[in-house]
Amino acid sequence: MPSPVLIAIDASPASHALLDLAHRYCRPGEHTLHVLLAIDATFAVHEQRTAYTEQELEEYPAACDEQQLAEHAVSNAVKTLREAGFDSQGCMVAAPPVEAIVAKASELECELIIIGHRHLSRLGRLLDPSISAKVIDRVQVPVLVGAA
C-alpha cells in the first residue's frame, strides 16, 4: 500500500514550490499525496463544496471568495499531482492551520508532511509565530519545509 504524505498548502502561488518538493522526494505508486488547505473558520460558508445561495453571496461576499479561492487551489494542486502520476486527494478544512495539519497527518498516518515556511523577521515571528515550527513541535513524523 502506498505511503501517505500530507502537503499543507495555502492559496498563494508559492504553493507550487511545495508540489515540486513532493514531486522531487515522492514517487508515484509508492506515495499517496494528500493536499490540505486550512482556512479561517470565519471564512467558511459550507463544510462541503457546494453552490452559494444569492443570500450567502450578498451577506458573506468575502467569505465566499475566500472559500472559492481555497477550493480552487486544492483542486489545481490535486490535478497537478495526478498529471504527474500520483494518486492524490485533497481537502479544504475550516480550522486553525496547525490543528488541521496535525489532525490530518494523524488521521492518515502520514510518513511525511510537506509544508511551507515564510521568511519573517524576528519581530514578525514574535507577532505571527511560525505554523511550520508549531507543526514540527507537535508531530512525530518528518516534516519537509520548503520556502514559500
121-132 pLDDT, tens per residue? Answer: 565 555 566 889
Q: Is the pLDDT of residue 10 over 70?
A: yes
pLDDT for res 40: 76
Cα separation, 1 vs 15, in Å, equals 27
pLDDT for res 130: 82
Q: Is the pLDDT of residue 112 over 80?
A: yes
pTM exceeds cut of 0.95: no
Average pLDDT over residues 91-108: 94
Average pLDDT over residues 79-102: 95
CA Rg value for the chain: 16
pLDDT for res 142: 96
> Which class for 24: exposed (0-12), middle (13-18), buried (19 or more C-beta within 10 A)?
exposed
Mean pLDDT of the chain: 85
* DSSP letter for each residue of 20-68: HHHHHH--TTTEEEEEEEEE-GGG-S-SS--PPPHHHHHH-HHHHHHHH
Torsions phi, psi for 137 (to 5 deg): -70, -20
Q: Is 78 helix (H, G, I), strand (E, B) or coil?
A: helix
30-82 pLDDT, tens per residue? Answer: 999 999 999 877 666 555 565 656 766 676 666 667 778 888 999 999 999 99
pLDDT for res 85: 97
